[in-house]
Homo-oligomer: A and B are copies of this chain.
């Protein structure tokens, strides 16, 4: 039953962590709130800096631990577009990522039809759990960095 929307973000997160046997801690709550309050694609380092504003004692190791926990309980996605730091995304709706090869920014893009497993020719004994779609290209004529190309 989709009743999660009736919960505050704290209760929601607490419940989702519990379902995976993970604990609800102040650090995980702050990291999660950082991610949902600004829907871009920060790296662990950026999450660390933002989280320090509301939770100054947090350490980088805890940020990694928290991000792993949030990914495990599926309230956050990890995005790997290329060699470099992983990015994190709190948009859990089905969507793809567009990564600009010139300026490096990552954008969420909606799928006109959600990707379905049958579109892909996977051996029958393989179990598909998730699909990540990443587009590469150039974001916009108006993008400052891109114009320099």
Q: Are A86 and B83 in contact (CB under 8 A)?
A: yes
How long is the Cα–Cα vector from A113 to B136 in the complex, in angstroms? Answer: 19
> Given the complex, which residues of B lie within 8 Å of A111, measured CB to CB?
119-121
Q: Does A19 touch B at the CB level, under 8 Å?
A: no
Task: Give 1 or 0 for each of A111-143: 1 = CB within 8 Å of chain B CB.
Answer: 111010011111101111111111111111110
Which of the residues B86, B98, B119, B122 comes within 8 Å of A122, measured between beta carbons? Answer: B98
Q: Does A82 touch B at the CB level, under 8 Å?
A: yes
> Given the complex, which residues of B lie within 8 Å of A58, measured CB to CB?
none
Q: Are B135 and A130 in contact (CB under 8 A)?
A: yes
- Nearest 7 Cβ contacts at the A-B interface: A110-B121, A129-B137, A128-B137, A132-B134, A80-B80, A127-B138, A127-B137
